[in-house]
Structures are given as C-alpha cells and as structure tokens.
C-alpha cells in the first residue's frame, strides 16, 4: 500500500515537472471549432460545422501504437432568459473513435452513435473527415417556442473518460491528453 502511494506521488511529480517544459508543438496542439451553420429544413434544424484538430505528440504516439482516440462533439440548445440563467432545452453528444491499424496502414473512423465506419490512408485525411460535420439533426422546430430566442453551443474534446483504464490517470496528470475546444456559440 505504501509503495503504491509513493508511485502515485512520483507519477504526479513527474507530470508537474514535464508540464513546466512545454514545447512549441505542444502549445499548438488543440481542437478548434472554426465554422458553424444551422439551417431549418422540413421543420428540423440541421447543423454543419468545421473543426480543426492538431494532435499533441503524446496523442499521436498513442494513436500510432493502437490506442483508440475517443472524440465527443457536445451540443446544447438553450432558451435565453433575461433575468436568470438560460434553460437547457436539448443536449446531444455525437461520439467518434479514431483508430490506426498498423497491418493495413489505414486510419479507421467510427461513428459510435450510428455504427458506421470509414477508412482513410492518412491521419490528415481521417482528421479532415472527423472535422466535417454535415447535416447533423439538432432539434425539431416544433419543440421550440415561437418568438423566443434560443442559443446553441458546441464543443469538441478528446473523451478522456473513454480512454483505456491505464491511460486515464495519465490523461488526468498531463494536459497534452486533454485536448478540447471551448464552447462555440450561436443564436437562432
């Protein structure tokens, strides 16, 4: 028991020490939502979005060694209220998993919500496909009140809770594993 505590303390100290010496590559790693469009078609709001991914060296190495990278796109629809906090009307989590298969030298992108899978010859092509959200159904217009202002917001992140158990502690201790965008907001 004492040895486990010492090991945990050493791991945390090494993570703090490593966190102080960040490289320029680590500084540029991140996820950024660059564009969002919402359109109403047949009484349903659909979302189109563009997302840019720059993986940290640690995430790239993990991917190349066979670790599946879980990505989640979180969307919230809020009803704006003037004097108190906004009310959450709907939430949506679109989940993906990016894998590298060394035998075929292909990157596999799975949509975990609907079970589809696509393969790509390069990481750039796979991340490009992951970064294009096209015609994602958001909410039925009949569920929204007329003449009320609504706000949508979207963020994208590596889902560290879905990483394999041995990597979760590393993800907690090292910011290079916790890539995510801030909330990108729009009104409709």
Q: Which tens digit of pLDDT belongs to each residue from 96-113?
A: 999 999 999 999 999 999
Reported as a single tens digit per residue, the pLDDT across 71-98 is 999 999 999 998 889 999 999 999 999 9
The rounded distance, in Å, linking the Cα atoms of 19 and 88 is 36
Under 8 Å between Cβ of 20 and 176: no
The rounded distance, in Å, linking the Cα atoms of 113 and 93 is 9
pLDDT of residue 166: 83
Does residue 179 register a pLDDT over 70? yes
Under 8 Å between Cβ of 66 and 31: no
Q: For residue 22, what are its two tokens? A: 């960040």
Q: For residue 84, what are its two tokens? A: 């108190």
pLDDT of residue 44: 96
Does residue 16 register a pLDDT over 60? no
DSSP per residue over 167-182, as a string? HHHHHHH-GGG--B--
Q: Show me where the domains of the chain are located.
A: 2-187
């Amino acid at each position: 028991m004492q040895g486990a505590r010492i090991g945990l303390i050493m791991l945390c100290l090494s993570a703090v020490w490593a966190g102080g010496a960040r490289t320029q590559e680590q500084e540029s790693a991140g996820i950024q939502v660059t564009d969002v469009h919402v359109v109403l078609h047949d009484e349903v709001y659909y979302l189109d979005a563009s997302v840019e991914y720059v993986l940290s060296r640690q995430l790239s190495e993990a991917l190349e060694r066979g670790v599946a990278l879980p990505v989640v796109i979180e969307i919230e629809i809020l009803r704006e209220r003037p004097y108190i906090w906004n009310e959450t009307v709907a939430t949506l989590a679109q989940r993906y998993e990016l894998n590298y298969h060394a035998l075929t030298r292909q990157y596999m992108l799975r949509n975990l919500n609907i079970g589809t899978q696509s393969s790509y010859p390069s990481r750039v092509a796979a991340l490009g496909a992951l970064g294009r959200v096209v015609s994602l159904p958001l909410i039925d217009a009949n569920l929204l009140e007329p003449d009320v202002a609504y706000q949508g917001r979207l963020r994208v992140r590596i889902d560290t809770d879905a990483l394999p158990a041995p990597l979760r502690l590393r993800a907690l201790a090292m910011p290079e594993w916790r890539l995510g965008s801030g909330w990108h907001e729009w009104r409709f």
